[in-house]
Each structure stands twice: as C-alpha cells, then as structure tokens.
Amino acid sequence: MADRRSMPVSLLAIIATLSIGNVVAASSVVHPVSDPHRSAAVELFTSAGRSLSLEETYEALRTFEVLGIGKAELRSDGCSSVLDVLKLASSSPKELYYALKVNQLSKCSSERAVFEVAASRLKAALSDVSSLLDYHYSVGGLVLIKDLSPDVDVALTDAKGTFQSIKALSQSDGRWRYGSNNPESSTYAAGVALDTLAGIVKLEDSEIGSSMISAVSNDIKKLFDSIEKYDDGTFYFDEKVVESLEYRGPLATSSVVVVGLSSFASATSEKIDIPGEVFSGLAKFFLAIGVPGDSKDLFYQINALACLEDNRVSIPLILSLPATVLSLSKKDQLKVRVTTVLGANSPPLKLKLRQALKSDSADISVIDSQELKHDSSGGFYYLDVLPDSIDVGKYKFVFQILLEDPEHKKSYATGGRIHVPIYVSGVVIVENAVISVLDSDLGTVDTQKKLDLDKQNDISLSANHLQKLRLSFQLSTPRGLAYTPHQAFLRLKHETKVEHIFVVGNSGKQFELVLDFLRLVEKFYYLSGKYELELAVGDSVMENSFLWPLGYIELDMPEAPEKAPRPPPVAADPHSRFEVKAEIQHIFRAPEKRPPEALSLAFLGLSFLPFIGFLGGLLRLGVNLKNFPSSPVPATFAFLFQVGIGAVLGLYMLFWLKLDLFTTLKVLGLLGTFLLLVGHRILSHLAATSAKMKSA
C-alpha cells in the first residue's frame, strides 16, 4: 500500500519544496533576534571544553550582554586573567585591549593604579606603533580606561598626528591598508580604522578638526559605494581579494564595518550620508544568517546587530511574519510583526498592504491598498479577513511601513516596499467526476460510472482495443474560480507491474482525459489483462490533494506481433537495486599446460646425446692436437684464444641467467676486443706457419 502511494506523494513533496525554495530565494523573510539565538549563545560559548582566551571571553560577555543573558552562564568571568594581564609589564597592546574590554563587561577591577600602569603602557606602545591593528588596540584600550576611570591621564601626546597617520593608510576606494609596508587594501581594515579614528576623537575631541573628520566621512561614503548587494535588497561587505591570508569572510567584514561606522557616527556629530535602505539591507544580511553555528560568527552577528539597533544614522526596522501560509478553509488571519533587529518594539507606525501579486501575473495586484489593524496587546498588525479576491495560490504581498512621527522618519529605516511570499491554501472542490468507456467510431457510451473523489473508489470496467476510456471531472477554488493544480495524473498499472501515466489536461474548470486504446496498443506492449486505475491530483496549496485508487479496467488487447517491443523488466522488489549484488568471480587467464617434469628431463638428457655422438665421432676420426704450437709465445696465445672463446660463452650463460643486455654488451665489448687481438695473433701465426710449410 505504501508503495503505490509513495511515488506521486514523493513527487508532490519534491515539487512543493522546490517551488517554496524558489520563492524564498527571491525575497526572503527574516526574523529578528529571538530565543533560538539566546540558547545557541549559551551552548556555543560554554561548550568549548577549555578555558577561553581573553578575546573569546570578551566575545562571550558582549554577546550575552546584548542578548540579555546572565553572566553566570559562563563558567568563569575571566577576572583572574584580566588582572594578571593588566598588572604584567610585558603585556602586548592586544592583550591589554581585550583585558580592558572584559573588565568593562565583568567589572573585575576599578583600581586606579592598575589602570595607570596600563594607560602608560598603551601610550608608550602608541609611539612605537607600525600597523593599524596596533593603533586599534592602543587607542581602544585608552578609550576603555577613560570610560572606567576618568581621572587617569589618557591624553594622547599627538592626537592629530596619530589621526593623520591612520588616515594616511586609507585608499582611494574607501578601503584601508593594514600597515605602511602592506600594499593590500582590505574592507575589514576599513572597519577597524573607523573604530580607531572614532576612539581618537573620543579621547581628544578638540584637537581633531572638522576638515579631518569630513575627509573620513568621504572615505566612508566611498567605502559604502563598494558595498555588495543581492537582488532581494540585502547589502553586505566583502573583500575584493579573497585569496589573501587575512580573508575573514563577508560576515566578519560587514560586522566590523558596521561597528566602525556606528562608533564613528556616535563619536562625531558629522552627518553620514548613507541611505536608510543600506541599513535595512545590512540588517537583512545579518538576520538572514539565522542562528550561526560558530561562536565567533554569532559574536560578529550579534555585535553588528547591536550597533545597528542604536546607531545614530538610521535604525532598521524589520518586518517579520510568524506564518507565511494562510489557509482559506481555516480562515487564517494575516499577521505581521514590525520590530527592531534585536526584537524591541518599533515606534508608532502604520502598516499598509500595498499589493498582492499573484505568481503568474506579477504586475497586477488583485487587491487594493489597505491598512492593517494594530493589536497593541500582542504587538502585531493583522488583517482580520482576507479580501475576497485572494484565492488559492502563490502570492507576493507588498508591504510598506509608514512612520507617524516625522522625526522618526529621519532616524529609522523602513526598508521601502517589502515583498513577502505568501501561500494561500484552501480546499479545492472536485465535482462531476465520471469515468466511461466509449465506442471509438460513434463515440457512444458503452459503460459510464460516477466517481466520488472524496474517497477511494472500486469500479470495474472492461474495454477492448477498439474502444476509448474517458475520465472527466471539474475543479474549482473555494471562491468558485477555475484552478489548475500542479499534478493531475491517471496511472494504469498492469498485473505484471508495468505502469503507464497520463496527464489529465484541462480547459478552465473541466478536466478531461481520453485514452484511445487503438493508438495506445503499442505503448501498452500489447498486454491484455487487469489494469489498476489510480488518480492523483495535487498541488502545494491544495489542502485536499489526493491519490485515490479508482478500481480496475479489464483490457483486451490484440496479439503482439513478432517485432513488437517487449515491456521493460520490472524488478520484483523496487528496493532490489540497492541490495547486495552477486560477487564477481575473477577469471584469470588459465596458465599454459606445462609438460610433465619427467618428460622434460628425459628430453634434456636426450639433447646431450648428439653432443656425445659428436665427441665420439671426433675420437673415431682420430682428431689430434698436433697442430697446437709448441713454442711458448704462440702457445700462450693459442691458449688465451680458447680461454677467450670460453669466456664469451660463459658471459652468454651469465647473460641468460641474470645479467641484462647492457651489462653484457659492455663486457662483451671488452672481451671481444681481447679475443680479436689474441685470435688475430694466433691465427696469423698459424697461417704463417702453414704457408712456410707449404713453400718449404
């Protein structure tokens, strides 16, 4: 039973998820920071299993502070290491900076003496600084000391000079370099630089002139010109060069730039000319991540959102919907929430639903612009009843936030026209379902049965190949309009499990399928017999999608001719393709048959026989060594000649047994030369001797 339903249902599921996925990519709905973030924060920051470094402790404390989680969740608040670092004379500016940051959040110590030591250390570091990050840690540390212990002297010796040397590292496109000997410019560095410059302004407000500040504003403007954008209005920052070792990813880069911008904006009263939609887009970027899985990513996200929440330029407002699927049958209400990024209440505003665009006609709105009512107890906006023109289907609702107070309009970013994908589901009415067998020539009805498509049916029909099968029904939406579902299939399955699927076409409300068996005889592989009928009608927004067995039809097909195609073999078990397959026995080449050893040995002996015969024959002939030279010199040469030949033959034996050709040829060269010389001597001597004898 599960098998028969599984295929169309799984197809349905796949199509549904694909279509939802497509729609979501076009304009995503984000949700503000909420409890999942809080529980993730607790889990990520306390699951390290080792003691956190000062930087990690600071990140944890800052995230907990923004999310409103108690510090007790962290096992240690880092105070002991903070005090150690502050007192140590050899602490680096980076360590001092993070120790002071943790101190600010944990309130470990407020002893003036400790801070004086740290302040003098940081000021000394400033005079010896080489890179942007060193500036950042020193200046940032001094700002923290000033906040915690205002009577400690944190005055910079040359604030203007420091400001200008940081500004000198800026590039023409608004990015910053990390140091004067580092040619690569980085967006992350720009964020760090802005934060540092803001710190200098906080320390020595009077010394930094407005011209210098407006120069930095220009850099900010250029930096924001290079912001990257997705089609749905999300903005983010990323590095131009992603292969560098310093690359930290768009989340970290965007977060640091947002932090830098907001601290610069709050430190100076300079007007920052960045449109509100950029802030909305950045908020969307950070919120669209959802809940990050890494503690550092969570810190970057939450820290950036906290800066967006109360920045001086433009606070983004987030529109979120608890449910994007509305059911007509359950009379669901459209509910919308408008909050800040951290989930706090928005200022008083009006929320208007401007348009409802149907997915297939994306320009025409099916409703007029209307205002949503506000439920102040629940804090959301709602439409009590969906307009009549909203029918079953996929829509894009276009919202617009209108702030009531003109002052708020300057400080909040509403995000313009917000497109939200909405599914309106409902019960599709199925009626007048009839299945009949028609005689092909005249079109007269042979048998006709009514179907009730609210449940399984059990009709039985019979037809031969000269007749036709006709199935018809009507579909209409709850509002009475015609509706075309995503899937409308009729499946015929033979006893031998061979199946055929046909799409039921429609014109308006009327769905009809005519199967002309005369034409389908070959497609059915000439198989006669009982065919199970099944009808599947479904769509992602149809609440009553169904897959009903209808019954059986007994088909009488003619005999299959010789050349007819055979039906494809159907596996007995559809999961058999995943079973363990038979083991393949490897057949190696059969080794050649070798003769029995005894035979080989016999022939070995036999092959020596001719040689023995040769020796015997030589003896019989009376072979003698009379011609062997008697005098010593020729005798040695003669002897050497024989030895030489024997050596060459011995070399050949060695060659056969183990040497390779190259070694052999090398040795043969030597032996051959020797043999040639010796042979020449002895043979010329013999020739001379025989010539003498002849002449004598």
Q: Considering only residues 565, 652, 663, 669, which one is a binding residue for other proteins as defined by CB under 8 A?
A: 652
Q: Does 613 bind other proteins (CB under 8 A)?
A: yes
State yes or no: residue 684 binds other proteins (CB under 8 A). Answer: yes
- Helix, strand and coil in the chain, % to nearest 5: 45, 25, 35
Q: Going by DSSP bridges, is the β-strand pair 315-320/412-413 parallel, antiparallel, or unpaired? A: parallel
**Where does this chain touch other proteins (CB under 8 A) — which range of 88-96, 208-216, 390-398, 685-693?**
685-693
Distance from C-alpha of 676 to C-alpha of 672, rounded to nearest angstrom: 6
Give least dist CB 522 to other proteins, A.
56
**Smallest distance, other proteins to C-beta of residue 571, A:** 47
Report the DSSP pairing between strands 325-327 and 417-425.
Answer: parallel
**Stretch touching other proteins by CB under 8 A, among 97-105, 186-194, 343-351, 646-654:** 646-654
Q: In what order do the strands lie in the sheet with 373-375?
A: 373-375, 380-383, 334-340, 315-320, 412-413
For residue 676, the one-letter residue type is L
Q: Is 623 in the site for other proteins (CB under 8 A)?
A: yes
DSSP string computed for 600-639: HHHHHHHHHHHHHHHHHHHHHHT---TTS--SHHHHHHHH
Taking the C-alpha atoms of 97, 99, 100 and 104 in order, what is their torsion angle to the nearest 10 degrees?
140
Interhelix angle for 295-309 vs 276-288, to 10°? Answer: 150
Stretch that binds other proteins, among 146-154, 366-374, 381-389, 608-616 (CB under 8 A): 608-616
Region of 64-72, 326-334, 500-508, 682-690 interacting with other proteins (CB under 8 A): 682-690
Q: Does residue 50 belong to the site contacting other proteins (CB under 8 A)?
A: no
**From the list 245, 661, 693, 696, which residue makes contact with other proteins (rule: CB under 8 A)?**
661
690 binds other proteins, rule: CB under 8 A: yes
Of residues 505 and 617, the one with the C-beta less far from other proteins: 617
Query: Is residue 385 part of the contact set for other proteins (CB under 8 A)?
Result: no
Instruction: Name residue, tokens 């920045």.
Output: 311
Measured CA angle at 411 (ends 407, 417), to 5 deg: 100
Is residue 578 within the footprint of other proteins (CB under 8 A)? no
Spatial separation of the C-alpha atoms in residues 566 and 527, rounded to whole Å = 10
Residue found under tokens 């929320």: 351
How far apart are CB 596 and other proteins at their closest, in Å? 9
Task: Tell me whether residue 580 or residue 621 sits nearer to other proteins (CB atom).
Answer: 621
Minimum Å gap between C-beta 648 and other proteins is 6
Taking the complex as a whole, the smallest distance from the CB of residue 610 to other proteins amounts, in Å, to 4
Task: Report the residue from 88, 466, 514, 668 that binds other proteins according to the rule CB under 8 A.
Answer: 668
348, 565, 610, 646: which one binds other proteins (CB under 8 A): 610
Residue (445 or 670) nearer to other proteins, CB? 670
Shortest distance, position 560 Cβ to other proteins, whole Å: 53
For the segment 588-607, give every residue that binds other proteins (CB under 8 A).
592-595, 599-600, 603, 606-607
Task: Please choose, from the candidates 476, 543, 469, the residue with its C-alpha nearest in 3D space to the C-alpha of residue 506.
Answer: 476
Encoded tokens for 156: 């910079």
Q: How many CB atoms lie within 10 A of CB 42?
A: 18
Judged by CB under 8 A, the residue of 445, 618, 633, 635 near other proteins is 618
Q: Minimum distance from CB of 559 to other proteins (Å)? A: 56
Residue whose CB is less far from other proteins, 501 or 688: 688
478 binds other proteins (CB under 8 A): no
Binding-site residue total for other proteins (CB under 8 A)? 37
Interface with other proteins, residue 672, by CB under 8 A:
yes
Q: Tell me phi and psi for residue 32, to 5 degrees.
A: -70, 175
Q: Give Cβ neighbours of residue 476 (< 8 Å, ≥ 6 apart).
A: 428, 429, 431, 482, 483, 509
Binding of other proteins at residue 633 (CB under 8 A)? no
In angstroms, give the least distance from the CB of 577 to other proteins: 45
Per CB under 8 A, the segment of 249-257, 392-400, 414-422, 660-668 that binds other proteins is 660-668
Residues 6+ apart with CB under 8 A from 567: 496, 498, 525, 527
Beta carbon of residue 497, minimum distance to other proteins (angstroms, whole number): 54
- Residue 587 vs residues 591, 592, 600, 614: alpha-carbon distances, Å: 11, 14, 29, 49
Contact pattern for other proteins over residues 286 through 325, marking x by CB under 8 A: ----------------------------------------
Residue whose CB is less far from other proteins, 2 or 621: 621
Give whichever of 565 and 650 is closer to other proteins, judged by the CB atom: 650
Task: Extract the tokens encoding 175.
Answer: 């990015």
Handedness of CA 278, 280, 283, 287 (dihedral sign): negative
CB 273 within 8 A of CB 221: yes
Task: Choose, by CB under 8 A, the member of 128, 269, 407, 656 that binds other proteins.
Answer: 656
Angle between helices 210-225 and 159-167 in degrees, nearest 10: 20
Residues that bind other proteins (CB under 8 A): 592-595, 599-600, 603, 606-607, 609-611, 613-614, 617-618, 621-623, 645, 648-649, 652-653, 655-656, 661, 664, 668, 672, 679-680, 683-684, 686-687, 690
